[in-house]
Structure 1
Amino acid sequence: MEYRYIGSSGLRVTPICMGTMGFGTWSDKNESFRILDTAFDSGINFYDTAEVYPVPPTAELAG
């Protein structure tokens, strides 16, 4: 997996972000965890869990 640094922060993230908007609406809890596990196992470490996303809160689901 390719990684990039965010400015001078020292944070190293993947250039692709895993969006979680559909978690809790288009995919149930089990499907959401399967998607997260696949992304994590692929090396993705950049997740979008904006507070405007559905209930249940995706940030809680994503950990």
Structure 2
Amino acid sequence: MCYEMEKIYSEGMESGEKCGELKKAKEIALSMAEEGMDVKMIARLVKVNEKEVQKWIDESLCVMK
């Protein structure tokens, strides 16, 4: 494989891993929210900013309605 193709492949793999990690963090955060945990605490534990966690929770509530 040429250098450019290897680079593209590596970047794609990294991107996929980050996406998977973020998806798992979202699932965990939503579970914690369902248990009544504070947004600030959830954000700290899943290592995502509070605004993002709150967005996930709000989106989840909209889907449930």
TM-score class normalised by the smaller sequence: 0.3 to 0.5
Indicate the structure with greater strand content: 1
Indicate the structure with greater helix content: 2
With CA pairs under 8 Å and 6+ residues apart, which has the higher RCO, 1 or 2? Answer: 1
TM-score by length of 1: 0.35
